[in-house]
Chain A
């Protein structure tokens, strides 16, 4: 069943995310080939930049302290997309749903202690062959009112 276009511009959020130092470092470990957490934590993950992992190196760097690695945005900015995917009003079939496309734009570094507010809106409901396409556009703003990340999240549902 096609997705009802009446839901175009349906909005989700605001969702607030408080960024912790260990959230950033755990994410860097998981993405960088290490192990998150403190119990079995690995040595420095090989594939992530030290500015997003090593506090001493980061302090001496251009940001004066740890910053999030870009992928960390998926942790907080995903909420409106996740909410849309399970929204009974949209009625998306989760068994047939795939994450089709992803675009993020980073405008401001994310640091420990930041308070990030994300909102989202359904910006596309389309049919492409035997696929339904639902796109959610998100905007994340930090505690200074500055835009941190813009995201375009595309779900594809096989009929």
Chain B
């Protein structure tokens, strides 16, 4: 597993996630969030969307996974804060880009952006904190 000394301010990391048509259904099955706006295209259309929208907490979890992939251990992620700024829809591609902005002892501070294929931010103000204990 990646050691504390291998993390540095200025590190960057990134992931691209495709929202396949059934992702909201898979996420509903695993999370219990069956709000019809995520499942039923007719309900989503009535709410003004071109198709079902992904659960915000799935996008949130994706942001967490992007951090975990950089950190090398799910338990190292200690805090993640986001503002939901635009719905993510089936068919969208979300690009996450992260950067380590501070390293204070065993604590890392990370900042992320999340944009759809049009370049619109789907999350804003994304900040994370990680704790990397010495082995």
Find A101's partner among B15, B67, B84 (CB 8 Å cutoff).
Answer: B84
Per DSSP, chain B at the interface is helix
Contact A27-B57, Cβ < 8 Å, known A52-B74, A101-B83, A106-B77: no
Query: For the complex, is B42 an interface residue (Cβ under 8 Å from A)?
Result: no
What are the interface flags for B74-104 relative to A under an 8 Å C-beta threshold, 1 for contact and 0 otherwise? 1101111111100000000000000000000
Find A102's partner among B33, B60, B73 (CB 8 Å cutoff).
Answer: B60
Query: For the complex, is A145 an interface residue (Cβ under 8 Å from B)?
Result: no
Query: For the complex, is A32 an interface residue (Cβ under 8 Å from B)?
Result: yes
Q: How far is the CA of A32 from the CA of B64 in the complex (A)?
A: 11
Report the minimum CB–CB distance from A21 to chain B (whole Å). Answer: 13
What are the interface flags for A86-105 relative to B under an 8 Å C-beta threshold, 1 for contact and 0 otherwise? 00000000000011111111
Query: For the complex, is B27 an interface residue (Cβ under 8 Å from A)?
Result: yes
Beta-carbon nearest neighbor of B83 in chain A:
A101
Which of A8-16, A66-74, A115-123 lines the interface with chain B? A66-74
Contact A68-B74, Cβ < 8 Å, known A30-B30, A47-B62: yes
Q: Is the CB of B65 within 8 A of A47?
A: yes
Residues of A within 8 A of B83 (CB): 100-101
Q: Is the CB of B27 within 8 A of A30?
A: yes
Q: Is the CB of B29 within 8 A of A26?
A: yes
Q: How far is the CA of A90 from the CA of B78 in the complex (A)?
A: 31
Report the minimum CB–CB distance from A128 to chain B (whole Å). Answer: 12
Query: For the complex, is B69 an interface residue (Cβ under 8 Å from A)?
Result: yes
What are the interface flags for B38-56 relative to A under an 8 Å C-beta threshold, 1 for contact and 0 otherwise? 0000000000000000001
A93-147 contacts to B (CB < 8 Å):
98-107, 109
A-B contacts besides A99-B57, A100-B83, 15 pairs, CB < 8 Å? A26-B30, A30-B29, A31-B61, A31-B62, A34-B26, A36-B29, A47-B62, A51-B75, A70-B67, A71-B58, A71-B60, A75-B31, A101-B82, A104-B80, A106-B79
